[in-house]
């Protein structure tokens, strides 16, 4: 992904998630990404459920050591007029887990 992007350009993210613990499996795992203003959803693999700027993936269960990847393509909105900093934040939650988040 470019560090700087122009209106209409795509910005690519790779969201990596996993269970780095040695405890019990985590169930009902959901990855949620709230898109920053100025970026529009284009596509993702796997496809998310979308509600406005919120993308979510129901991932099921994660056993200790399990991991996965979501590839996400966003586009700089035509409404962006000046330089903006777009901080993208994703959160991974589940039953028997401590919520974790990361940003890029």
66-87: pLDDT as tens digits: 999 999 999 988 887 777 677 8
Predicted local confidence at residue 88, as pLDDT: 84
CA-nearest of 59, 57, 58, 5 to 36 is: 5
Domain boundaries, the chain: 1-81
Q: Which two tokens stand for residue 14?
A: 């790779």
Q: What is the pLDDT of residue 41?
A: 96
- How would you list the strands of the sheet with 67-76, edge to edge? 10-18, 67-76, 39-45
Tell me the whole-structure pTM to 2 decimals. 0.84
Give, in order, the Cα–Cα distances in Å from 52 to each of 5, 11, 70. 22, 18, 19
Contact 91/31 with Cβ under 8 angstroms? yes
At 28 the pLDDT is 95
**pLDDT attached to residue 1:** 47
Beta-carbon-side half-sphere exposure of residue 33 (alpha carbons within 13 Å): 28
Write out residues in the chain with pLDDT < 70, as ranges.
Answer: 1-3, 84, 98-104
């Amino acid at each position: 992904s470019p560090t700087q992007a122009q209106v209409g350009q795509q910005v690519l993210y790779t969201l990596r998630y996993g269970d780095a613990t040695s405890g019990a499996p985590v169930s009902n795992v959901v990855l949620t990404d709230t898109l920053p203003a100025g970026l529009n959803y284009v596509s993702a693999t796997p496809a998310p459920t979308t509600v406005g700027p919120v993308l979510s993936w129901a991932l099921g269960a994660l056993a200790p050591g399990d991991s996965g990847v979501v590839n996400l393509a966003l586009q700089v909105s035509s409404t962006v007029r000046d330089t903006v900093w777009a901080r993208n934040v994703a959160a991974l939650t589940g039953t028997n887990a401590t919520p974790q988040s990361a940003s890029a």
